[in-house]
Amino acid sequence: MTVWRILSFLILLTPVLTLILGLICWRYPPKGPTWALGYRSRRARASREAWQFAQNVAGQIWLCLGLTLTAVFAIVCICLRNRGVETLCQAALICICLLYTSDAADDLIGV
């Protein structure tokens, strides 16, 4: 049972961090264009208004993505809690592969 808890924690770590960083970026965005923090693109750095808009939208997207991923990964972990550790690891790999494949598909079609 301890191994299952450790694996569940590790599986949920990335979605929860995405959720927290999205909330921080949305509620407390960097005040002006910087090279260290925030969503940086040429268009976002064009003006102060564009920068604020880009940070607001990026924070909301990360927040929604974090909520969705946390819910999906939590459901997977809960559904597989009585199974073996191997099953949980396989499910985690499938979830991660699906995330990367959907991201790669978005890159291919230009979204």
| pLDDT for the residue 18 | 84
pTM of the model: 0.70
Token code pair at residue 92: 């985690």
> How many Cα atoms are found within 13 Å in the side-chain-facing hemisphere of 69?
23
Asked if residue 88 lies in contact with residue 7, where contact means CB atoms within 8 angstroms, the answer is yes
What average pLDDT does this structure show over 83-96? 78
Q: How far apart are CA 48 and CA 55, in angstroms?
A: 11
Buried b (16+ CB within 10 A) or exposed e, 75-88: ebbeebeeeeeeeb
- Specify the higher pLDDT residue, 34 or 66: 66
pLDDT of 109 strictly over 50 = no
**Amino acid code (one letter) for 76:** V
| pLDDT for the residue 99 | 67
